[in-house]
Amino acid sequence: MLIQRPKGTKDLLPEDTFKLQYIEEKIKNVLENYGFGEIRVPVFEHTELFQRGVGETTDVVQKEMYTFEDKGGRSITLRPEGTAGAIRAYLENGMANRPSPVKLWYNMAMYRYENVQKGRLREFHQIGVEVVGASSYLADVETILLGKRMFDALGIKNIKINLNSIGCPKCRGEYQKILKEFIGKNLDNYCDTCKSRFEKNPMRILDCKEEKCKKLNIGAPKMIDYLCEECQTHFNNVRSALNAQGVSFEIDSNIVRGLDYYTKTVFEFINGKNGLTVLGGGRYDGLVQELGGTYTPAVGFATGIERLVEMFEEANKDLLQEKTPNLYILSVGNEENKKAIQIAEDLRDNNIYVERDLFERSFKSQMKYADKINAKFLLVIGENELITNKAKIKNMSNGEEIDVILDSKNILNIIK
- Which residues bind to ligand HAM, rule: CB under 6 A? 81-83, 112, 114, 119-121, 124, 126, 128, 130, 258-259, 277-282, 284, 300-304, 306-307
DSSP assignment string, 5-29:
PPTT-----HHHHHHHHHHHHHHHH
Least distance in angstroms from the C-beta of 136 to ligand HAM:
17
Least distance in angstroms from the C-beta of 333 to ligand HAM:
53
Comparison of 161 and 259: residue with beta carbon closer to ligand HAM? 259
Least distance in angstroms from the C-beta of 193 to ligand HAM:
17
Least distance in angstroms from the C-beta of 113 to ligand HAM:
9
Phi-psi region of 381 (alpha: psi -120 to 50; beta: other; left: phi over 0): beta
Task: Select from 386, 385, 404, 384 the least CA-distant residue to 394.
Answer: 404
CA dist 327 → 322, 355, 395, 411 (Å): 15, 6, 9, 10
Least distance in angstroms from the C-beta of 68 to ligand HAM:
19
Dihedral of the alpha carbons of 272, 277, 279, 283, in degrees to the nearest 10 = 120
Task: Select from 313, 318, 312 the least CA-distant residue to 151.
Answer: 312
Least distance in angstroms from the C-beta of 65 to ligand HAM:
12
DSSP at 3: P
Comparison of 124 and 235: residue with beta carbon closer to ligand HAM? 124
C-beta separation of 225 from 205 below 8 A: no
Least distance in angstroms from the C-beta of 307 to ligand HAM:
4
φ and ψ of 317, to 5 deg: -55, -40
Stretch (H or E) spanning 239? helix 229-244
Comparison of 130 and 355: residue with beta carbon closer to ligand HAM? 130
Least distance in angstroms from the C-beta of 62 to ligand HAM:
14
Stretch (H or E) spanning 330? strand 327-331
Comparison of 113 and 182: residue with beta carbon closer to ligand HAM? 113
The Cα–Cα gap between 8 and 120 comes to 8
| Three-state DSSP class for residue 106 | strand
Least distance in angstroms from the C-beta of 123 to ligand HAM:
8
Residue nearest to ligand HAM (CB): 304
The Cα–Cα gap between 273 and 178 comes to 36
Comparison of 82 and 325: residue with beta carbon closer to ligand HAM? 82
Comparison of 55 and 280: residue with beta carbon closer to ligand HAM? 280
Comparison of 134 and 370: residue with beta carbon closer to ligand HAM? 134
Q: Which residues of 249-271 are buried (b: 16+ CB within 10 A; e: fewer)?
A: beebbebbbbbbbbbbbbbbbbb
Beta bridge partners of 78: 44
Cβ atoms within 10 A of the Cβ of 133, count?
19
C-beta separation of 340 from 355 below 8 A: no
Comparison of 126 and 408: residue with beta carbon closer to ligand HAM? 126
Comparison of 302 and 415: residue with beta carbon closer to ligand HAM? 302
Least distance in angstroms from the C-beta of 165 to ligand HAM:
15
Comparison of 255 and 370: residue with beta carbon closer to ligand HAM? 255
Comparison of 152 and 306: residue with beta carbon closer to ligand HAM? 306
The Cα–Cα gap between 378 and 326 comes to 9
Establish whether the linkage from the previous residue to 42 is cis, with ω within 30° of 0: no
Least distance in angstroms from the C-beta of 251 to ligand HAM:
18
